[in-house]
Structure 1
Amino acid sequence: MSQATKRKHVVKEALGDFVTPTEKQQIVKVTGSRGNNLHEAVTARGVTFLVSMPPKFRKNLWIKRGDYVIVDPIDEGEKVKAEISFILYKDNIQYLQKQQLWPEGFTVEPDKEPEKAEETEKDEDFSGSDDDESDLFVNTNRCNYQYSESGEEDSQEEAS
């Protein structure tokens, strides 16, 4: 199977299917990347451990800090305790919340996020009222031309 076909099937599975965790699986929140396809995760109870990303997800799907995943436990690992079996997106999270399968330890966080968004909007409105252009991007690859609106150019044109 070619890489493009494999990617198509993996993405279709991840975005289209709504899964529920089995008895052995659990929902965890990714708190950071440790490299070599290892990610640090925390459970709803606050237990932190490493999870590995299986080869089918590598270079096809990306996860970042704050994402939620369903993991399968690994018995033989000392540091790596689980393997990611499914990446949860907004639609998946809403589905699990409707099914009453979402861990209560994670339910507090979505309520806090809209408050933070409102605060940042207020800050943006306040900072947007200033007409200060000092924070604009300056392209260092172009020559800076100084434009002046003085009467010198007009007087030179009139004299000739």
Structure 2
Amino acid sequence: MGKPRRAAVLAAAQESTTPPDELTETQFVARIVRAEGNSLYTCELPNGKTATLELEPKFRNTIFVRRGGYVLVDLASAEERLKTSKVMGEIINIVRDEKAWRKQPYWPKNFVKNTFGEDEDDNSTVGKLPPSDSDEE
């Protein structure tokens, strides 16, 4: 298999930067849980369920999809696909400009952005020195 042409890579990259204005009833934003291989990915849907989804051919070998990233999925023929395979739907777009996508009204509320300060708890001992004997006096 050859290297994808530059025009195809640029077209796929341009399409994935701008979010659509609205989604259909069968489209959802999902989070990548893990790569299964052969353009198959396990994704977490907004309702908390996981689904195996196939990457659309125009994004294969052009856009890198990483674990924890977000994608736009279409589950239009989920019931029909489940009869013949384990794939529930298709990844139709990849979220690259997450800041612009988060401003859209259809962004799921349970996909909150993790910041460094939220991950730490107040009782953490990382970076703190243990009390010494001289401190007690």
- Normalising by structure 2, we get a TM-score of 0.72
Identity value in percent? 25
For 1:91, which of 80, 88, 99 is the aligned residue?
99
Alignment root-mean-square deviation, CA:
2.6
Which residue is equivalent to 1:136? Answer: none
More helix by share: 1
Q: How many residues align?
A: 116
Q: Which protein has the larger Cα radius of gyration, Structure 1 or Structure 2?
A: 1
User: 74-83 vs 50-59, which deviates more?
Assistant: 74-83
Matched, 1:18 2:19: yes
- Displacement of 1:117 after TM fit? 7.1
Where in structure 2 are there 5+ consecutive unaligned residues?
129-137
Distance 2:120 2:69 in 1: 18
Give the structure, 1 or 2, with the largest relative contact order (CA under 8 Å, sep 6 or more).
2
Listed as ranges, the matches of 1:69-88 within 5 Å are 69-73=71-75, 74-75=77-78, 76-78=80-82, 79-88=86-95
Is 1:65 the counterpart of 2:73? The answer is: no
Tell me, what secondary structure is at the counterpart of 1:80?
Answer: coil
1:92 shift after superposition: 3.3
- TM-score when scaled to structure 1? 0.62
Of 115, 118, 125, the match for 1:115: 118
Deviation at 1:80, TM superposition (A): 0.7
How far residue 106 of structure 1 moved from its aligned partner, in angstroms, is 1.8
Q: Is the 8 A contact 2:32 2:42 kept in 1?
A: yes
Structure 1 position 101, deviation (Å)? 1.7
Cα drift, residue 30 of structure 1: 0.8
Structure 1 segments of 4+ aligned residues over 6 angstroms from their partners: none
Unaligned 5+ segments in structure 1 are 128-160
